[in-house]
Amino acid sequence: MPLSTATRKKKQTAAEDGDGRPALLLAWYDRHRRKLPWRPPAGERADPYRVWLSEIMLQQTGVKTVGPYFEKFLARWSGVEALGRASLDDVLRMWAGLGYYSRARNLHACAVAVLRDHGGAFPDTEEGLRSLPGIGPYTAAAIAAIAFGRRTMPVDGNIERVVSRLFAVEAPLPQAKPLIQQLAATLLSANENASRAGDSAQALMDLGSSICTPKKPACALCPLNDGCVARLRGEQEAYPRKAPKNTGALRRGAAFVVTRGDQLLVRSRPEKGLLGGMTEVPGSAWLAAQGDKAALQQAPDLKGVARWHRKAGVVTHVFTHFPLELAVYTAELPARTRAPEGMRWVPVATLGDEALPNVMRKVIAHGLGK
C-alpha cells in the first residue's frame, strides 16, 4: 500500500532526526508484534518468570525450537518456586535435546537462588539480576527492560544486525559490540517515563527476525529504512561485518553401545564441563588426531566381551568450539550381567526419560541400527 504524503514526511523527518526513530519503531511494533508464548498481550505486564525462562532458552537457539520446550517447562513448573524445588536431574531430562546444557544447570541454580535468597521474586534491576547464576549482561538487560520496564537496551543477534545496518558500523564483530550497544540505546525514547524500553527491545528483535533478515532483507517494509545507511549504499547484506571465524581442530573418539537384552549400559558425565551431568554411553576421551586404536583401548572393562564389533561409518557432531567424529562399537552381554561401578542399565524403551544430549542420541541410534 503506498505511503501517504503525511507518512512520508514523518519518515523523512525521523530519518533526519534520530529522535523520531523510537516513535516509528514502536508504532510499527504495535501493528506487527509477533505472538510468542512468553509474550503477554499488548498492554499487559510481562511475567518475569516467563521472560527469564524464555531468554535462557533462546540463548544460541531459535524461536521455533524453543517454543515447544518453553510450553513443556511451563506445564511442569509454572513458576520459579516450583522450578527451584525440582531436582537437577528432572530439569536436565526436560531440557534434553535443546543443547548447550550448561544453560539447564544455570537455570536450575538460578531458580534455587531466587527462591532461597530473594523470597521467590526476581530482582528488578540489572545489577540484581546479574548477581544470579547464568544471567549475564544481555539477559539481565532483557529481563530488566521487558519484565520491569527499566530503561535499558539489550542487544541480541537480531538487534546487532539491525543497528549495524542502520548506522553502517564498519568494525567487525565481536569488536563492534560496545559501539553497537551505544547506538542501540539511541533507539530508546528520550522520555524515560514513556520509553517503553521492553517494547522497543522486542520491536528491534521482531524487526531483525521478520524484515531485517540476514539474507534478502525486506527493506521496503522497514519503518527505519529512510535513515538506514547500509540501505542507502545498497550494502545491506554486507553488515554486520564479521571477523574470520576460527573453528577448533577435529576431535575423534569412540563410543561403546552395550546391550543386555532390551537394556542399554549408560553413565552420567561429570557435573562440570562439557555436557555436564548428562547421560551418555561409555566412551573414550575426545582428542584431536586420536587414532581408532588408541580410542578402542579406552573401552570399558566388561566381563563377557570377547571382542567389540565396529559399526560402519562414524557419528559426526559439531560443538561450538570443535567438530567431533565418533567410531561406534557394540557388544551384547548375558542377562544378569552387573553394570560396572559408575554405570547403570536402563531399558531402551525408557531412553526418552534420560537426559541424553543430541550427540548421544545419534550414537545410540547408530549403535542400535535405528
Catalytically active residues, by annotation: 55
Listed residue (331, 312, 359, 341) closest to 264, CA to CA: 331
The DSSP string of 148-159 is H--S-----HHH
Taking the C-alpha atoms of residue 195 and residue 193, their distance in angstroms, rounded to an integer, is 6
Listed residue (47, 100, 101) closest to 74, CA to CA: 47
Contact yes or no for 131/53 (Cβ under 8 A): no
Pick left, alpha or beta for residue 159 (phi over 0 → left; psi -120 to 50 → alpha; otherwise beta): alpha
Amino acid 83 reads L
**Proportion of the chain in helix, strand, coil states, percent, rounded to 5:** 45, 10, 40
Listed residue (120, 92, 127) closest to 108, CA to CA: 92
Name 52's Cβ contacts closer than 8 Å, sequence gap at least 6: 80, 110, 122, 135, 139, 143, 147
Q: Compute the C-alpha angle 248/249/250, nearest 5°.
A: 120
